Amino acid sequence: MQNVFSEAPREAAVLHLQGADAERFAHAQFASDVRALPLQRWQWSAWLDVQGRVRVLLQLARIADTRFLALLRGGDAHALAAALGRFLLRDKLQLTAQRMRLLPGAALAMNEVQLQEHSITLGMDTHSWMLCDVQAESAPASGITEDAPRANVWLHELRAGWPWLPDATLDALLPPALGLEHLGAVRFDKGCYPGQEIAARLHFRGGNKRELVRLRGAAQIIEDLLRNTPAALQVLLMHRDGSNDSVEMLGVLNTASAAASAWTALIVARYPA
């Protein structure tokens, strides 16, 4: 079985960007329209390499005029801080990586951000993600409980087509394979950023051979297919039902693979690029 996200992470990799040049730097590096992000709102975003591949998928929140928080949906925040730091010249900006507790919470409007003393909450419509300071165990934030059952939240994100990226998929997939344009994580009307030329070429000329799909089937059938057709599907998220007999997955299907047709009968949804 591939190394995938089979349940919601209990710790979050977070990057803080703070300083007078935070907006300018983030707008120049990330693929979303950072300048259009209002205070106490978050947006989908991504950092691409020069070949247009997704290095990291982010939920980017504007906490203040000169402060942003990025929740990494896969990957390592310290590695991201180090990599972004190579592009700092005279920028007035501090990059700080942090591990935070990640708790599913009650329903909150999509893209809304709520700030508490020891936590930050990102609204996901039917639920929310609460990022809590792991060093504040004795603080009031440590009493926060999981208002939304973790399994229900995980299944909702899987069905919505909101990827979390296992390590094997980092630096490997182009934005259309993850539906990033549909999410608004990639924009082509905001000026240059790393990988923009490749991403724009795929958008305007086509040629993408991978698509984001949701699949459902018997656990044994899926395990056999994963073992026998490893090049056809990269699994991102997985959910097993209570009996463990049925599996639902969000994955990237390689439509150019000769074995792709073996998965067709299990596809229950396809997501726009």
- Dist. CA 173–CA 252, nearest whole Å: 9
Is residue 88 a contact partner of residue 29, using CB atoms and an 8 Å limit? no
- pLDDT tens per residue, range 208-262: 899 999 999 999 999 999 999 999 999 999 998 877 789 999 999 999 999 999 9
CATH code for the domain defined by 209-273? 3.30.70
- Dist. CA 233–CA 257, nearest whole Å: 9
- Dist. CA 46–CA 56, nearest whole Å: 6
CATH fold match for the domains 12-100+148-169 and 209-273: yes
What radius of gyration do the chain's Cα atoms show?
Answer: 19
The torsion defined by the Cα of 38, 98, 155 and 151, in degrees rounded to 10, comes to -130
Burial of 65 (0-12, 13-18, 19+ CB in 10 A): exposed
pLDDT at residue 138 greater than cutoff 80? no
Q: How confident is the model at residue 125 (pLDDT cuts 50, 70, 90)?
A: very high
Q: How confident is the model at residue 146 (pLDDT cuts 50, 70, 90)?
A: low
Q: Where are the domains of the chain?
A: 12-100+148-169, 209-273
- pLDDT tens per residue, range 173-194: 999 999 999 999 999 888 899 9
For domain 12-100+148-169, which architecture applies?
Answer: 2-Layer Sandwich (3.30)
- Dist. CA 221–CA 82, nearest whole Å: 42
- pLDDT tens per residue, range 46-105: 999 999 999 999 999 999 999 999 999 999 999 999 999 999 989 999 999 999 999 999
